[in-house]
């Protein structure tokens, strides 16, 4: 287990928290790098993904490739700015989950930097920087590997909450999960069964590989809950579309 030694400092208008510690090769001297690094983080070398939720890009620092994830919702949605006065931001949740999952023995990108910018006490900019994990994206046909990985997370006291094939990669050291922002510490049999129901959306064999008898009545309860949530989201989207209100995509 890697011993964490997080530090924080302020550069320009950004509050910067360094999570990276004790990795090989050692991380940069972030405080001294920031003057020239910040403009590069603003405009990554390559954009991998960009939607209303986030922008994800690549940047090289020395010979090491990093991912820069900018939480678009934290900048564009008043709700996320307002709730940052009382609750963790999207970036804080992602950084905490990434570090905690890794320390629990679940392979996932470890956070290196969390950059946050505030105005009137509300966070209106949240970026997460972490080392790029090289690997192959998984497909529904990889269900035989994905389900045991999620089941092991359950045994370690975590639920994934977003276990679709695109959220996993196959690295040289085995499977890893990406984007752990929805992951939660829990041993709830209902939430574990809910993970299985979510996997069934794209991988129907998931329940039999996991073990239908192990899930028991919670499998039926999770199915019912999932059906209710899907209907609720459909109704919510329909109302928003009718009123011309921009939604969150859910």
Quick: pLDDT tens for 85-100.
Answer: 999 999 999 999 999 9
User: For residue 26, what pLDDT band results from cuts at 50, 70 and 90?
Assistant: low
CATH top-level class of 7-131: alpha beta
Average pLDDT across the chain, whole number: 89
Q: Average pLDDT in the 209-237 region? A: 88
- Ranges of each domain in the chain: 7-131, 136-233
Q: How many CA atoms lie within 13 A of 213 on its CB side?
A: 0
pTM for the model stands at: 0.85
**In the chain, what's the furthest Cα-to-Cα distance?**
57
d(C-alpha 219, C-alpha 195), whole Å: 10
| Res. 4 pLDDT band, cuts 50 70 90 | low
What does the alpha-carbon distance between residue 128 and residue 93 come to, in Å, rounded to a whole number?
10
The mean per-residue pLDDT over the stretch 67-78 comes to 91
Question: What is the per-residue pLDDT for 175?
Answer: 97
Query: Per-residue pLDDT tens for 172-218?
Result: 999 999 988 999 999 999 999 999 999 999 999 999 999 999 999 99
Q: Which CATH superfamily includes the segment(s) 136-233?
A: Transferase(Phosphotransferase) domain 1 (1.10.510.10)
pLDDT band at 21 (very low <50, low <70, confident <90, very high): low
pLDDT at 102: 92
Distance of alpha carbon 40 from alpha carbon 62, whole angstroms: 13
């Amino acid at each position: 287990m890697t011993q964490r030694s997080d530090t924080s400092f302020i550069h320009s208008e950004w509050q910067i928290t360094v999570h990276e510690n004790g990795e090989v090769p050692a991380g940069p001297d972030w405080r001294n790098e920031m003057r020239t690094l910040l403009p590069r983080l603003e405009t990554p070398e390559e954009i991998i993904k960009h939607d209303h939720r986030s922008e994800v890009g690549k940047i090289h620092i020395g010979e090491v490739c990093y991912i820069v994830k900018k939480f678009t919702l934290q900048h564009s949605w008043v709700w996320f700015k307002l709730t940052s006065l009382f609750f963790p931001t999207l970036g804080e949740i992602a950084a905490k989950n990434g570090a905690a999952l890794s320390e629990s023995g679940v392979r996932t990108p470890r956070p290196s930097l969390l950059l946050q910018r505030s105005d009137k006490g509300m966070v209106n900019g949240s970026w997460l920087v972490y080392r790029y994990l090289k690997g192959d994206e998984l497909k529904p046909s990889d269900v035989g590997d994905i389900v045991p990985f999620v089941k092991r997370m359950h045994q370690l006291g975590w639920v994934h909450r977003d276990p679709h094939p695109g959220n996993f990669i196959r690295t040289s050291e085995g499977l890893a999960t990406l984007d752990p922002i929805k992951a939660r510490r829990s041993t709830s049999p209902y939430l574990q069964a809910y993970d299985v129901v979510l996997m069934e959306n794209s991988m129907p064999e998931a329940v039999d590989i996991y073990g239908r008898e192990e899930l028991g009545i919670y499998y039926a309860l999770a199915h019912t809950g999932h059906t209710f949530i899907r209907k609720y989201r459909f109704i919510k989207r329909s109302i928003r579309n009718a009123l011309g209100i921009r939604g969150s995509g859910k």
